């Protein structure tokens, strides 16, 4: 009798340990918190904001570039600054992936922020958190919504070039493929349509939208707009010619992106399909086109959700001294 009881309590103890361990592994024991640097680096948020503000002042497009960096970081092994590592030894940089090569930019601004933070409080603020804060500050500076950034992410010890190639959607992906890639990150249809509104700012190279101009499937492209695009993006040559993702207000974070889609003036095929390929996504496009406040609200919520993708916490990863290499 006593031995059964003993077995039972040993089993119970093991169960408790297993549950606790699974929480630790999931990082649940260390949830992100907006007050994470409250004692260790109280001026961290002000420092990030002021460096971002200076950079955007120099070049308004930088707001778009910094917002995109956080997205490209979070979709590959979670928001762990893996994107920022340069190639070195066994590390093949994500900067060389299809989505990032000759395209992702703003790394020098991240370096500038990191240098300022290392002076203020060495070895304290992670590069992954810098990306999350810079994305929020950029959105606000461009006229978009504000939100509280949860903090406490740590930096990865490696990168994933294949993850960057496979997980980040391409502009010629089908809507179904894009939906699947978002789902893989725990993001739903509302998150997808709201986050795509990030294309209310910034520029695209001709090479990202040429295919749809000449493949004979231009039915969803408004005629005059198509002419405008073809003149800027010929059948061959001019690969790096730039065109605004939102032709109405390229540097203003507003809901004109959605109004453009309704008018057949989405720049990327991946933008336009949100309006043409599914009743569920097109209903959301109309909703945001009509109600900028609702777009702002959903965008902020989706950014928080994206920022929560698989962060490294506790004693996982490290706090890099230089965002381009592991310590
Ligand atoms: C839904 C799937 C998405 C696809 C297929 C996509 C694709 C692209 C492409 C092809 C470009 C132009 C790159 C170039 O030609 O150099 C671009 C730019 C941009 N993307 Fe996305 N994107 C997506 C989602 C997002 C999300 C979720 C965000 C942020 C919330 C975002 C933010 C941006 C910004 C701000 C730019 C302009 C960057 C700059 O001017 O430097 N994108 N995207
Ligand atoms: C999408 O674009 C890439 C890069 O331009 C190209 O290699 C690929 O064949 C395209 N895919 C489709 C399905 O058109």
Chunk the chain into consecutive blocks of 10 residues (it has 327) and report each block's average pLDDT, rounded to whole numbers. 50 47 52 97 98 98 99 98 98 98 98 98 98 99 98 98 98 97 98 98 98 82 94 97 98 98 97 97 98 98 98 97 98
Pairing of strands 203-205, 242-244: antiparallel
Which fold does the domain 44-168 belong to in CATH?
Answer: Peroxidase; domain 1 (1.10.520)
Closest residue CA from atom 7 of ligand 1: 171
Residue 281: enclosing H or E segment and its boundaries? Answer: helix 279-290
CA-based nearest residue to 307, from 61, 73, 52: 73
Same fold? 44-168, 175-306: no
> What residues are in contact with ligand 1 under a 6 Å CB criterion?
61, 64-65, 67-68, 71, 103, 105, 169-171, 178, 195-196, 198-199, 201-205, 208, 245, 268, 270
Distance (Å) from CA 275 to ligand 2 centroid? 21
Closest residue CA from atom 37 of ligand 1: 202
* Backbone dihedral angles phi then psi of residue 203, each to the nearest 5 degrees: -125, 155
Interatomic CA distance for residues 140 and 163, integer angstroms: 29
The domain 175-306 is placed in CATH, from the list 1.10.420.10, 1.10.10.10, 3.40.50.1370, 3.40.50.170, at: 1.10.420.10
> Which ligand places an atom closest to the C-alpha of 206?
1
pLDDT of 215: 87
Distance (Å) from CA 172 to ligand 2 centroid? 6
Distance (Å) from CA 125 to ligand 2 centroid? 39
Q: pTM score, two decimals?
A: 0.93
Q: In Å, what is the CA distance from 101 to each residue of 83, 90, 153, 164, 165?
A: 12, 19, 25, 11, 11
Domain ranges across the chain: 44-168, 175-306
């Amino acid at each position: 009798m006593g031995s059964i009881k003993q077995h039972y309590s040993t089993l119970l103890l093991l169960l408790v340990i297993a549950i606790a361990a699974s929480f630790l592994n999931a990082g649940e024991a260390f949830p992100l918190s907006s007050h994470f640097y409250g004692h260790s680096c109280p001026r961290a948020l002000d420092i990030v904001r002021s460096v971002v503000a200076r950079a955007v002042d120099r070049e308004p497009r930088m707001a778009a570039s910094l917002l995109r960096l956080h997205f490209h970081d979070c979709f590959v092994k979670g928001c762990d600054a893996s994107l920022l590592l340069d190639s070195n030894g066994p590390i093949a940089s994500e900067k060389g992936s299809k989505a990032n090569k000759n395209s992702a930019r703003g790394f020098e601004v991240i370096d500038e922020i990191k240098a300022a933070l290392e002076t203020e409080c060495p070895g304290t603020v992670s590069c992954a958190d810098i990306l999350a804060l810079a994305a929020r500050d950029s959105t606000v500076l461009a006229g978009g919504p504000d939100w509280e950034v949860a903090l406490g992410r740590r930096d990865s010890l490696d990168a994933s070039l294949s993850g960057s190639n496979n997980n980040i959607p391409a502009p010629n992906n089908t809507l179904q493929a894009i939906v699947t890639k978002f789902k893989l990150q725990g993001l739903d249809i509302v998150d997808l349509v709201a986050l795509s509104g990030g294309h209310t700012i910034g520029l695209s190279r001709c090479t990202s939208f040429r295919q749809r101009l000449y493949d004979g499937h231009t039915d969803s492209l408004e005629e005059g707009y198509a002419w405008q695009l073809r003149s800027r993006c010929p059948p061959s040559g001019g690969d790096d010619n730039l065109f605004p993702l939102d032709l109405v207000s390229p540097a203003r974070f507003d809901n004109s992106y959605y109004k453009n889609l309704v008018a057949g003036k989405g720049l990327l095929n991946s933008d336009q399909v949100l309006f043409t390929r599914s009743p569920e996504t097109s209903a959301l496009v109309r909703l945001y086109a009509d109600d900028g406040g609702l777009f702002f609200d959903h965008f902020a919520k989706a950014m928080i959700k994206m920022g929560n993708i698989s962060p490294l916490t506790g004693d996982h990863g490290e706090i890099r001294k230089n965002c381009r290499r592991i310590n």
